[in-house]
Amino acid sequence: MQYQSLSQVQFDLTSDKISLPNLVRYYLNQIEEKENLNAFLSVYADEALAEAERIQAKISTKSAGRLAGMVIGIKDVLCYKDHPLQCASKILDGFESQFTATAVQKLLDEDAIIIGRLNCDEFAMGSSNENSAFGPTLNPIDNDRVPGGSSGASAAAVAADLCLAALGTDTGGSVRQPAAFCNIIGLKPTYSRVSRYGLAAYASSFDTIGTLTKSISDAALLLEIMAGHDEMDSTSSKKEIAKYSEFPETAEALRVGVITPNDQNGIDPEIIESLNVQVQILKSAGHKVDELTLPELDYALPTYYILTTAEASTNLSRYDGVRYGYRNENAHDLENLYKKSRSEGFGDEVQRRILLGTFVLSASYYDAYYTKAQKVRKLIQQKMKELFKNYDFLISPTTPTLPFKLGETVSPLEMYLADLFTVQASVAGIPAISIPVAQSEDGLPVGLQIMADFFREDKLLSFANYMQNGAIITK
Rounded CA separation 66/416 (Å): 39
Please give the full DSSP string across 354-377, using - where no structure is assigned: HHHHHHHHSTTTIIIIIIHHHHHH
SS3 at position 185? strand
CA dihedral 370, 375, 379, 384 (to 10 degrees): 50
Please tell me which residue in 128, 174, 192, 396 is annotated as part of the active site: 174
| Residue 389 burial (C-beta neighbours within 10 Å; 0-12, 13-18, 19+) | exposed
Q: What is the maximum alpha-carbon separation in the chain? A: 72
Chain centre distance of CA 356: 23
Cα separation, 459 vs 244, in Å, equals 8
Four-point Cα dihedral 466, 470, 472, 475, nearest 10: 160
Burial 129-141 (b: 16+ CB within 10 A, else e): bbbbbbebbbbbb
**Residue 96 C-alpha from the chain's centroid:** 23
Beta pairing class for 255-259 and 393-397: parallel
Catalytic residue among 5, 34, 42, 75: 75
Query: From CA 71, how far away is CA 65, in angstroms rounded?
Result: 13
The answer to whether residue 150 is catalytic is: yes
Quick one: which H or E segment has residue 435?
Answer: strand 432-439
Look at residues 25, 398, 461 and name the one whose alpha carbon lies nearest to residue 249: 461
- In residues, how long is the chain? 475
Residue 174 a catalytic site member = yes
Whole-number Cα distances in Å, 302 to 122, 276, 299, 390, 411: 21, 27, 6, 27, 16
234: annotated active-site residue? no
Catalytic residue among 150, 195, 313, 462: 150
Residues annotated as part of the active site: 75, 150, 174
